[in-house]
Amino acid sequence: MAKIETEPPAWRQVYAEISKRIRTGKIPVGEKIPSLVQLTAEFGIASATGMKVMRALRESGLIRTVPGRGSFVADPEHWEPEGSA
């Protein structure tokens, strides 16, 4: 019998929290977001889970990554509507 998950996976929970911080302005446009190391420490997740969060944030247009500098909150014009990811 297949196992039915009652909670969203960890990466979705972390994605939702970071997305909320961005959308409410707690992390303002242009500001650097927490690094992968910081995400794993803050949320107690594996680095692979953190990478999935970062990828989802990029794909939803919430962040942009600059090689060698980090990831930053993107302009709201690039954001997908809430709940799209």
Please give the model's pTM, rounded to 2 decimal places.
0.85
pLDDT at 32: 96
The answer, yes or no, to whether residue 36 has pLDDT greater than 90, is yes
Residue 26 lies in a domain: yes
Q: What angle do CA 33, 7, 16 make, to 5 degrees?
A: 20
85 in any annotated domain: no
Assess whether pLDDT exceeds 60 at residue 84.
Answer: no
Tell me the residue range of the domain where 59 lies.
10-78
Quick check: is 24 in a domain? yes
What pLDDT, on the 0 to 100 scale, is given for residue 83? Answer: 65
Mean pLDDT in residue range 20-38: 95
In a domain, 5, yes or no: no
Domain CATH number, residue 74:
1.10.10.10
For residues 66-70, give the mean pLDDT. 93
Give the Cα separation of 33 and 53 in Å (integer).
Answer: 12
Closest CA to 54 of 67, 63, 45, 43: 63
**Average pLDDT for residues 18-43, to the nearest whole number?**
95
Residue 29, domain member (yes or no): yes
